[in-house]
Amino acid sequence: METKSIMIVGVGGQGSLLASKLLGRLLVDEGYDVKVSEVHGMSQRGGSVVTYVRFGERVYSPIVTTGEADLIVSFEKIEAARHLPCLKKDGVIVVNTQQIDPMPVITGAAEYPAGVLEEMVAAGAKVDAIDALSLAEEAGSSKAANIVLMARVAKYFDIPYEKWITAIEKTVAPKFAELNKKAFALGFNA
Amino acid sequence: MKELYIGNAAVARGLYDAGCSVVSSYPGTPSTEITEEAAGYPEIYAEWAPNEKVAMETAFGASLGGKRSCCAMKHVGLNVAADPLFTMSYTGVNGGLVVCVADDPGMHSSQNEQDSRHHAIASKVPMLEPANSQECYDFAKAAFRLSEEYDTPVLLRLCTRIAHSQSIVEVGAREEVPQKPYVKDISKYVMMPGMAIRRHPLVETRTEKLREYAENCPFNRVEPGWDPDLGIITSGTCYQYVKEIFGDQYAVLKLGMVNPLPADLILDFAASVRQLVVVEELDGVIETHVRTLGLNVTGKEIFTPLGEYSQETISKVFGRPEKEHFSIETAIPARPPMMCAGCPHRGMYYVLSRNKCTVIGDIGCYTLGAQAPLQAVDTTLCMGASVSGIHGFNKVMGRDGETKTVAVIGDSTFMHSGITGLVNIAYNQSNSTVIILDNSITGMTGHQQNPTTGYNIKGDPAGKIDLEALCRSIGINRVRVVDPYDLQQCDKVLKEELAAEEPSVIISRRPCVLLKYVKAKRPLHVNPDTCRSCKKCMKFGCPAIAMHDGKAHVDPTLCVGCGVCEQVCPFGAFEEEA
């Protein structure tokens, strides 16, 4: 099979590393060659963060560039727009509708562009928007928004539901397993 | 068992399986996890040293004592440790010694993008460069055998993309390596001129032997291609990009040993293709070597020495069209990293900014104070340069400089290389004001313990350096401690110490807000009736505060209730929950 490329994008501190860990775990269990690339350090401090996940028979590059992503999961609205050029023409971009103001917006040097999702749709991109934060709060914690988003992502994979649940159990701390399974169910059925 | 490992964790597993007993390092992105992961193996003694030079000398001592040892650092850390490295090249080792160094092309978290291969060439130490996590594991293991066989430290070079990418690794089991006896041998280990002069020829001979080894070593390999028009020489992460683009079209000479480089292997490879290209990130190190062999080669005249490569940047150079993609017109505002809500550094920076201080900065989270809106930092050079730099600055600026200039340095960075700068201030007497931003942790690299925290790498109680006593013992008479959440106190003490006609140290002390033991208070909120929309709080740069519909607004999911904004607002609009 051809190598598939996924990007997980968001703001430092939103829990994208757990999402990539879950996905990596699952894909290895499925028998694929897998590469996951993340950036640590300075960019974690509230900056824009990107994680790449690639899988297939034999994966070379660990990163995803312009026009290569089959799927982008964005934890925040304008981060989706920032990374839109990486999306393949027939790719899907799953977006959490949460808005987090970057510093230039906070200081008034720039405005938060309100209608970017509509603009992305108008450009022809397949945008799948979801209010993951509310669903996570419904599950019991806003911190589970990452799992809600991964549940939405699961709809684009041919991997049985139970296998996602197994991967969650292997990835998260046992005391948060129930919360995350609930968040996954809410995201999957939304 | 096959598992996903980031490169750094695979290196740590390789160290473990090779029977490594000691790992001493100073944290630095992207190398930090090598040592953190190594600390997870009970058979390895791992520690955070105060700096890379100390770490490398500790590893040398452990090697001298007959055990396999290692130290890990980021590229600029190797500058700090260059002194022991260059002479360890002469002494060689007893137990195998591996030095891991992680470059940061693209400067994800660094102040420059130097290429550490130059250090390998200059110190005449062999260097291996893995291209995925499996090779990180394999090369780390093999590096010890190479070290002992050739009596040399061995450099293992990673870059951010290798260090922080996960790929599948098949690991083995730990090999227990018996401790070698320590035998006194001053001709090998005492590098004074009379002895060193007899070691230098051995270094040259060793390099020649390693060059012969490089011709047939398991680290270098040729992968055939079906199109003889072109042959590509590459190494590390660039190998992955080349294969991504060309598959098996062109023959590839993949170099896993990047110092010393082979000659015949390259000449034979060149003879098998019509045209030769070198693809390497940063400097044209391989290319320069290929040219010395008299070969025609294309390299840095088409590939940039700047930044990080990708399959996209390389395929563009080869003239391939850009892939089809979407774009929108709206400009997306940048999202730079910033100091967290409740960060204790922010209060002190706000005071420095209000006092229009010139701030000689240093390396850490607090470097982020240079950005808008605080813009409180004037210079950042390298670890420790704030304390040394202010001394020179004040010497030429005189009283005008002294009364408005401060150095800022974190607790970990002060331990790393700020102490000697303070010794210079005390000894050569400049009226300098040094602020130690003591947040009780090494923050930027992800919360590593350091000599001031009282805990070791495993989180167990350890020795604790008393900063106040240390500064006084150096000869600083004026040592003040302030709480950066108390703006009035910070302002008062800052003014007094700037006015003082002798050196002083202000310790701005409050633990990092991200530490688990630091409990957040209830978030504040803005009373819209009291808020006059003066935007003074916007100059404070807290990510939890933004203007919504003309009034300040606190994001309750980000606010930790530090209460500093209450002191910034002239109208008392920030309120605690009733």
In SS3 terms, B264-284 reads as HHHHHHHHCCCEEEEECCCCC
Q: CA nearest B445: which of B29, B24, B52?
A: B29
Q: Are B48 and B456 in contact (CB under 8 A)?
A: yes
A173-186: pLDDT as tens digits? 999 999 999 999 99
Does B8 lie at the interface with A, CB-CB under 8 angstroms? no
For residue B358, the tally of other CB atoms under 10 A from its CB is 18
- Taking the C-alpha atoms of residue B383 and residue B380, their distance in angstroms, rounded to an integer, is 9
A118-160: pLDDT as tens digits? 999 999 999 999 999 999 999 999 889 999 999 999 999 999 9
| E-strand stretches of A38-133 | 48-56, 69-74, 87-96, 126-130
Given this model, what pLDDT does residue A41 score? 58
Does B111 lie at the interface with A, CB-CB under 8 angstroms? no
- Taking the C-alpha atoms of residue B46 and residue B56, their distance in angstroms, rounded to an integer, is 13
- Contacts with A85 from chain B: Cβ below 8 Å: 325-327
Task: State which residue of chain B sits closest to A47, comparing Cα positions.
Answer: B337
Q: Are B252 and B242 in contact (CB under 8 A)?
A: yes
Tell me the C-alpha to C-alpha distance, in Å, between residue B374 and each of A107, B349, B378, B535, B540. Answer: 10, 7, 11, 14, 7
Q: CA nearest B111: which of B388, B338, B363?
A: B363
Q: Are A19 and A146 in contact (CB under 8 A)?
A: yes
B333 to A125: CB separation less than 8 angstroms, yes or no: no
A102 to B336: CB separation less than 8 angstroms, yes or no: yes
Does A143 lie at the interface with B, CB-CB under 8 angstroms? no
Quote the minimal CA–CA distance from B332 to chain A in Å.
6
Given this model, what pLDDT does residue A108 score? 83
State the average pLDDT for chain A: 93
Quote the minimal CA–CA distance from B416 to chain A in Å.
19
- Taking the C-alpha atoms of residue B162 and residue B102, their distance in angstroms, rounded to an integer, is 9
A35 to B365: CB separation less than 8 angstroms, yes or no: no
Given this model, what pLDDT does residue B482 score? 98
Specify the 3-state DSSP secondary structure of B7. Answer: helix
A29-67: pLDDT as tens digits? 999 999 999 876 555 678 888 999 999 999 999 999 999
When comparing pLDDT for A28 and B578, which is higher? Answer: A28
**What's the one-letter identity of residue B190?**
V
Please determine, for residue A17, whether its predicted confidence score (pLDDT) is greater than 90: no
Distance from the first to the final alpha carbon of chain A: 30
Q: CA nearest A132: which of A112, A155, A117, A151?
A: A151
**What's the one-letter identity of residue B212?**
E
Q: Are B285 and B258 in contact (CB under 8 A)?
A: yes
Given this model, what pLDDT does residue B100 score? 98
Given this model, what pLDDT does residue A40 score? 65
| Strand pairing class (A69-74; A87-96) | parallel
Does B252 lie at the interface with A, CB-CB under 8 angstroms? no
Give me the residues of B, 360-379, that contact A with CB < 8 A: 365, 368, 371-373
φ, ψ of residue B382 to 5 degrees: the values are: -160, 175
Q: Helices B385-402 and B419-428 meet at what angle, rounded to 10?
A: 40
Q: Is the pTM of this model over 0.90?
A: yes
Give me the residues of B, 434-453, that contact A with CB < 8 A: 444-446
The segments of chain B whose pLDDT lies below 70 read 578
Beta bridge partners of B69: B22, B97
Please determine, for residue A162, whether its predicted confidence score (pLDDT) is greater than 70: yes
Question: Residue B321: is the preceding peptide bond cis (ω within 30°)?
Answer: no
Tell me the C-alpha to C-alpha distance, in Å, between residue A73 and each of A16, A127, B478. Answer: 9, 10, 54
Cα-based torsion angle of the residue sequence B86, B89, B93, B96 in order, rounded to the nearest 10 degrees: 90
B24-73: pLDDT as tens digits? 999 999 999 999 999 999 999 999 999 999 999 999 999 999 999 999 99
Does B538 lie at the interface with A, CB-CB under 8 angstroms? yes
